[in-house]
Amino acid sequence: MIELNNLTFSYYKKGVPALLGLDGRIEPGIHLLAGENGAGKTTLLHLIAGVASPTAGTVLINGSDPASDSPAQKGMVFLLEENTSFPMKTIRKFAEAHSPFYPNFSHKRFCENLQAFGMTGDEAMKKLSLGTRKKALLAYALALGVDTLLLDEPTNALDIESKETLKTLIASNVSEEQTLIISTHTVAELENLFDGAMIMLRGNLLWAGTEEETAERLAFEKTRAPEPDALYSESQLGYYNSIFPAIEGEPTNVDWRLLYSALHSPKGADVLKQLKNPLS
Angle at 239 between CA 238 and CA 242, to 5 degrees: 150
The CATH fold assigned to 2-210 is Rossmann fold (3.40.50)
Predicted pLDDT of residue 90: 94
Predicted pLDDT of residue 71: 67
Predicted pLDDT of residue 14: 62
Angle at 27 between CA 25 and CA 29, to 5 degrees: 140
Over the range 113-129, which residues count as b (16 or more CB within 10 Å of their CB) and which as e?
bbebbebebebebeebe
Q: 201 by DSSP, 3-state: which?
A: strand
List strand residue ranges (DSSP E) for the chain, in order. 2-9, 19-26, 29-34, 56-61, 77-80, 148-152, 179-183, 196-201, 204-210, 218-223, 232-236, 239-245
Predicted pLDDT of residue 279: 56
Reading the chain (280 residues) residue by residue, the pLDDT tens digits are: 999 999 999 987 667 789 999 999 999 999 999 999 889 999 999 999 999 999 999 999 988 888 886 766 768 999 999 877 778 899 999 999 999 999 999 999 999 999 999 999 999 998 999 999 999 999 999 999 999 999 999 999 999 999 999 999 999 999 999 999 999 888 888 888 999 999 999 999 999 999 999 999 999 999 888 889 999 999 988 899 999 999 887 888 999 999 999 999 999 999 999 998 765 4
C-beta of residue 148 within 8 angstroms of C-beta of residue 48: yes
pTM of the model: 0.93
User: Where do the structural domains in the chain lie, given as residue ranges?
Assistant: 2-210, 216-276
